[in-house]
Amino acid sequence: MWLPAGLIVLAFISLYPIIYAVINSLKTEPQSTVNPFWFTNWPLQWSNFLIAFETIWHAFFTSAIITSVSVVGIIALASLSGYAFARIPFPAKNVLFMIIFGLLLVPGFLTLIPLFIEIKDFGLLDHDLGLILPYIAGGQAFAIFVFRSFFSGLPDEIFESAVMDGASDLTLYGRIVMPLSIPIMVTIAIINVVGIWGDYVLPSLVMNATGHRTLAVAIVSFEAPKFAPSLNVYNIELAAYLLASIPLLFLFSFLMKYFIQGMTSGSIKM
């Protein structure tokens, strides 16, 4: 009896920030001041979401492009590297893999200043590539580790029979390995999408142009829209946060089955 009740309490505590955002995104600020914890106003202010979208839509699509290209690049390069480490013999393979694995132990903030200087020297400030390339590079270590572990666990008989039929490494990679690794690709994609979509620190340094920002930067620096400069933005900002979470909700809803398969396949040990 106590266990279900405790789980309900924990679920409510975990979900209430979202409930709070939903409630207050449908109010004006005076209405939120009177009672911020429940609906007390009718009609609800659905226009807050329209104003929020009109204000952040450009940043929304900028983040969508950066996130999509970065995740595709991470999976494409890491899967090739993981296959090489798992199935192709070459000199110093284990040493190179341990070096890559060691990158997982380096905190990201230690490389932030050198990374920013490098982006600046390459002339990539205020450019999408100034984020895409670091995201692809930064996602390689974990993804390579996961792909290598999964590819190493595949039965050798599959590869031996394919090689006897004349299959090359590229054929093995494209026609055998990748179709079997869809749950792993989805798992890596979701983990990286969540991190890149919500990243604030690096975009706030790289994207300095007011008209070209990622979604996280645009929401944190939310201002009243030009067509209503006197508008109070607190409730509209909450609506913007909810709009920003919609793609992630859809992603988890449609891909959760593959995500769970990837997490339970033995390739990721949490």
Confidence (pLDDT) at 270: 41
Tokens of 253: 């809803």
Count of CB atoms situated within 10 Å of the CB of 268: 17
Residue 6: which residues within 8 A CB-CB, separation 6 or more? none
Residue 149: which residues within 8 A CB-CB, separation 6 or more? 266, 267, 268
Parts of the chain with a pLDDT under 70: 1-3, 41, 209-211, 223-232, 258-259, 261-270
Residue 232: which residues within 8 A CB-CB, separation 6 or more? 28, 29, 224
The ranges of the chain annotated as CATH 1.10.3720.10 are 56-264
CA distance 29 to 189: 38
Confidence (pLDDT) at 209: 67
Confidence (pLDDT) at 135: 95
Confidence (pLDDT) at 269: 45
Q: CATH for 56-264, among 1.10.3720.10, 1.10.1040.10, 3.10.129.10, 3.90.226.10? A: 1.10.3720.10
CA distance 73 to 234: 37
pTM for the whole structure: 0.85
CB 225 within 8 A of CB 237: no
Confidence (pLDDT) at 66: 95
The pLDDT tens digits of the residues spanning 27-86 come to: 877 777 777 777 776 777 888 888 888 888 889 999 999 999 999 999 999 999 999 998
Please, where are the H alpha helices in 88-214? 93-102, 112-121, 129-138, 140-152, 156-164, 169-171, 178-180, 182-197, 201-206
CA distance 72 to 78: 10
